[in-house]
Amino acid sequence: MSRNPSVLITGASGEIGHELIAHLTAGDAARQVVTLDLNPLQPELAAKVRQQFVGSILDTQLLERIIAEYEVDRVYHLAALLSTRSEFSPALAHKVNVEGALNLLEFAQKQGESHGRPVVFFYPSSIAAFGLPDLATKAAAGKVKEDDFNVPTTMYGANKLYCEHLGRYYSRHYKQLAAETLSGKVDFRCLRFPGLISAETVPSGGTSDYAPEMIHAAASGKPYDCFVRPDTRIPFMAMPDAVTAILRLMSAPREKLTRSVYNVGAFAPSAAEFETVVRAAFPMATLGTKVDTKRQGIVDSWPADVDDSTARRDWGHAPKYDFATSFHDYLMPSIRKRYGG
């Protein structure tokens, strides 16, 4: 049992969690970290956290146990089924992505009511929350704002958009008809991420995975057929900038935040531009294109880029890496080390 202020990270062994743990457990960290994931953490990550719970976000008894044992005032709810996987199992996706998020919001509400401080709750949403009806509209729209085209075509996108609303509800309107005011115990903060590219991990189950898959395949000497057309364009971000954005948003003074959900972007190359850069770095790479028309349809419904000016203004979103530097300064050094290039 620990009554020190604690952080709970769900989905901690996933791509974002992997990198976030290192930052949240750095020497001067104010809070101890507790994790919850279906899969055990890698030993070097496990060594950094106070306790890892191996289990499901759908297991409410396990969540009750964490409430009983820890005083959590920060939640990073990262656990989810990504977009491609969700399309194969929509009912399961709803369970994990929506019921799971609801369980964690209830968890945060109860924690906030018990210790009296708002629980700052980070939720990663996605460009999948957008749905552009056709390529002409996508081309004309350019950088989309948060509130435009909120008509997702995927189960995952619908789940994310609804959970954004749930978060806003818990933050501002929770049990609004009750005699006492119960809202304000959850301080919900959300980023709509573009496709993320990590040098450390290869994603699984996403639809923006073609870019990181291409890079990791080329670096490890494996042939790769990109599953979208060369002209396909969506925004991307290097993982360190995603983690920095999370940390900045979470530490921003509440009064600076004019929204609960922010677009964040960094660069938006086409699949052909990715291929050119990967070929330049790995001239021996065997890269082709084999369009999966169905997955292509999903990526075509996502914006070519996002307008993240509100994030830049409110809490200083400022990605360090653009397309070129993300390759040369971030991805290449770590990837070469990893695959021995």
- Give the residue numbers annotated as catalytic, written as ranges: 156
Minimum separation from the CB atom of position 29 to ligand SER (A): 27
d(CA 33, CA 186): 19
Q: How far is the CB of 232 from ligand SER (least distance, A)?
A: 13
Between 109 and 208, whose beta carbon lies closer to ligand SER?
A: 208
Distance of closest approach, residue 82 Cβ to ligand SER, in angstroms: 4
Contacts to ligand SER by CB under 6 A? 82-83, 126, 128, 156, 193, 195, 206-208
Q: How far is the CB of 208 from ligand SER (least distance, A)?
A: 4
**Identity of the residue, 97 or 111, whose beta carbon is nearer to ligand SER in the bound complex:** 97
Closest of 93, 95, 96, 113 to residue 170, by C-alpha: 113
Q: How far is the CB of 44 from ligand SER (least distance, A)?
A: 25
Cβ 210 vs Cβ 195: under 8 Å: no
- Residue 176 burial (CB count, 10 A): 10
If the CB atoms of residues 118 and 167 are measured against ligand SER, the closer one turns out to be 167
User: 3-state secondary structure string, the chain?
Assistant: CEEEEEEEEECCCCHHHHHHHHHHCCCCCCCEEEEEECCCCCHHHHCCCCEEEECCCCCHHHHHHHHHHEEEEEEEECCCCCHHHHHHCHHHHHHHHHHHHHHHHHHHHHHHHHHCCCEEEEEEEEHHHCCCCCHHHHHHHCEECCCCCCCCCCHHHHHHHHHHHHHHHHHHCCCCCCCCCCCCCEEEEEEEECEEECCCCCCCCCCCCHHHHHHHHHHCCCCEEECCCCCCECCEEEHHHHHHHHHHHHHCCHHHCCCCEEECCCECCEHHHHHHHHHHHCCCCCEEECCCHHHHHHHHCCCCEECCHHHHHHHCCCCCCCHHHHHHHHHHHHHHHHHCC
Q: How far is the CB of 7 from ligand SER (least distance, A)?
A: 22
Nearer to ligand SER, 207 or 310 (CB): 207
Least Cβ distance, residue 154 to ligand SER (angstroms): 8
- In the complex with ligand SER, the residue whose CB is nearer, 207 or 232, is 207
The smaller minimum CB distance to ligand SER, of residues 16 and 120, is found at 16
Alpha-carbon distance of 58 to 44, in angstroms, equals 26
Q: Which residue type does 230 have?
A: P
CB nearer to ligand SER: give 75 or 128: 128
